[in-house]
A and B are shown apart, each in its own frame.
Chain A
Amino acid sequence: MRFADEILRDKLAAEYVLGTMSARARRRFEIHLRGNPQLRRAVAQWESRLSTLTDAVPAIEPPARVWQAVKARLKFGPAIRAGFWESLSFWRVSSFGSGLLALALIVMVAMPKPEGPVETGRMVVVMNDLATKKPAMTASWEPGQSGGRTLRIRVIGHAEMGPNTAWELWMLPGGDQKPVSLGLITTHETQIVKIPQALAARLDAAHGLAMSVEPAGGSPTGLPTGPVLYAGESIKT
Chain B
Amino acid sequence: MNLPEGLAPEQLSDLLARCALRDQRAFATLYQFSSAKLFAVAVRITRRRDWAEEVLQEAFVNIWNHAAGYNSAKSAPMTWMTAIVRNRALDWLRRPREVEIDEEHEELMASIPDESPGPEELLRRSLEAGELAECMKTLTEEQQRCITLAFFYGLSHGELAEQMRKPLGTVKTWIRRGLDRLKGCLDELGR
The number of residue pairs between A and B whose CB atoms lie closer than 8 Å in the complex comes to: 192
A218 to B182, CA, bound (A): 42
| Chain A residues with CB below 8 A from B57, complex form | 66, 69-70, 73
Q: Quick one: CB contact mask for A196-234 with B, threshold 8 Å, 1 for yes? A: 100000000000000000001110000000000000000
Closest Cβ neighbor of A57 among chain B residues: B40
B179 & A18 in contact (Cβ 8 Å cutoff): yes
Q: Quick one: CB contact mask for A60-99 with B, threshold 8 Å, 1 for yes? A: 1111011101100110110011110100100110010000
B132 & A53 in contact (Cβ 8 Å cutoff): yes
Closest Cβ neighbor of B105 among chain A residues: A217
B40 & A59 in contact (Cβ 8 Å cutoff): yes
A164 to B105, CA, bound (A): 16
Question: At the interface, is chain B mostly helix, strand, loop or mixed?
Answer: helix
| Chain B residues with CB below 8 A from A50, complex form | 132, 151
A19 & B3 in contact (Cβ 8 Å cutoff): no
Residue from A21, A53, A62, A70 in contact with B36 in the complex, judged by beta carbons closer than 8 Å: A62
Residue from A19, A23, A76, A186 in contact with B150 in the complex, judged by beta carbons closer than 8 Å: A19
Contacts A53-B126, A57-B40, A70-B57 given; does A81 touch B28 at CB 8 Å: yes
A95 & B53 in contact (Cβ 8 Å cutoff): no
Which positions 111-145 of chain B face chain A at CB distance < 8 Å?
111-115, 117, 122-123, 125-126, 130, 132-133
Give 7 A-B pairs besides A21-B156, A48-B75, A70-B61 with Cβ atoms closer than 8 angstroms. Answer: A15-B175, A53-B122, A58-B40, A59-B37, A61-B35, A82-B25, A95-B1
Question: What is the interface of chain B, defined by CB distance below 8 A to chain A?
Answer: 1-3, 5, 24-25, 28-29, 31-32, 35-37, 39-41, 43-45, 49-50, 52-53, 56-57, 60-61, 64, 74-76, 78-80, 82-83, 86, 90-91, 94-96, 99, 104-105, 107-108, 110-115, 117, 122-123, 125-126, 130, 132-133, 147-148, 150-152, 154-158, 160, 175-176, 179, 182-183, 186, 191
8 smallest CB-CB distances across A and B, nearest first, come from: A183-B111, A23-B94, A56-B125, A59-B36, A56-B126, A95-B2, A82-B28, A62-B39
Question: What is the interface of chain A, defined by CB distance below 8 A to chain B?
Answer: 10-11, 14-15, 17-23, 26, 41, 43-44, 47-63, 65-67, 69-70, 73-74, 76-77, 80-83, 85, 88, 91-92, 95, 166, 182-186, 188, 191-194, 196, 216-218
